[in-house]
A and B are shown apart, each in its own frame.
Chain A
Amino acid sequence: MSRKHDFSLGGPEEESSIDLTPMLDVVFIMLIFFIVTASFVKEAGIDVNRPDAPVTESKPEDANILIAIRQNDEIWIDRRLIDPQALRANIERLHAENPKGSVVIQANSKSTNKMLVKVMDSARQAGVYNISIAENRL
């Protein structure tokens, strides 16, 4: 009964199938937008511990390997001037003595980032991945 009625109205069959073309257009435009804006920025870097400036004091001092960078980019460990080439060996030795220790770099505010990253890289080569940075105004 109803079927006959529908047919007489002229094409409810066609009406029942929704035209998907506009939605497809929108979806494709969104797809293209997100593909184009997808920025896969590959930034290489070295993770630094959160510089907990006041908290660093509460850590046991002897548990850390302290490396100081002076304003003329000299590296001092244990009151000795260290050549940048020998840095890795020195950190390795200190790390072997104290495997739980993390590296704390005390960088002078006038020292350059180049030396800081060099020290961090040497520490990582020596197997210490726990690195924090403290500022040293001396």
Chain B
Amino acid sequence: MRKKNQMGGEEEEAAIDLTPMLDVVFIMLIFFIVTATFIKEAGIDVNRPFAPTSDEQADAAILVAISANDEIWIDRSLTDPPNVRNVIEKLHQENPKGSLVIQADENSTNEMLVIVMEAAKVAGVANVAIAALKD
């Protein structure tokens, strides 16, 4: 047995070299860790207004939804208008580079929209967009 080993033998040939697979797996792992953006979804589905010129918001991190009856939903919970700023601030700290997308229902009033935009501004969110339906 030992002698075979010494002769460069069958034992080593039987074991497959895992190194290239490990490399690939690690690269995939690093890719998915780096691209993992934990988006805070709003939690409700709204009727987005139609706008053909809208473009995809790639770096969206926080989604704020405004329902048709003017309720504000952030991170799967109903939020009071005075409280919106605190919630956005807290979520923004987790991902300071991400932008905010307001998913406002087409029948919601612009009062709520402006409240959310003001809150986002005070919380220091760099980029605010209003969600729309592209087609």
A interface residues (Cβ-Cβ under 8 A, vs B): 7, 13, 20, 24, 27-28, 30-31, 34-35, 37-39, 41-48, 50-53, 69, 107-114, 116-118, 120-121, 124-125, 133, 135
Contact of B111 among A30, A121, A135 (CB under 8 A): A135
Q: How far is the CA of A37 from the CA of B32 in the complex (A)?
A: 9
| B78 at the A interface (CB under 8 A) | no
Contact of B129 (CB < 8 Å), options: A47, A111, A124: A47
* Minimum Cβ distance to chain B for residue A38 (Å): 6
- B14-25 to A contact mask, C-beta < 8 Å, 1/0: 000010001001
Cβ–Cβ < 8 Å partners of B56 in chain A: 42-45
Other-chain contact of B105, A27, A46, A113 (Cβ < 8 Å): A113
A31's contact among B28, B113, B130, by CB below 8 Å, is which?
B28
If A41-B60, A110-B109, A124-B53 touch, does A48 touch B117 (CB 8 Å cutoff)? yes
A118 touches B110 (CB 8 A): no
Cα of A133 to Cα of B127 in the assembled complex, Å: 14
- Asked, given contacts A44-B56, A48-B129, whether A112 binds B36 with beta carbons under 8 Å apart, the answer is no
Given contacts A45-B131, A47-B129, contact A35 B51 (CB under 8 A): no
The answer to whether A37 touches B36, judged by C-beta atoms less than 8 angstroms apart, is: yes
The residue that A43 contacts in the complex, of B32, B53, B60, with Cβ under 8 A, is B60
The 0/1 profile, CB within 8 Å of A marked 1, for residues 93-107 of chain B is 000000001111111
Top 8 closest A-B pairs, CB basis?
A109-B111, A34-B32, A114-B106, A45-B129, A121-B51, A117-B49, A124-B53, A107-B110
Closest chain A residue to B66, Cβ basis: A113
Cβ-neighbour of A117 out of B5, B32, B60, B106 (below 8 A): B106
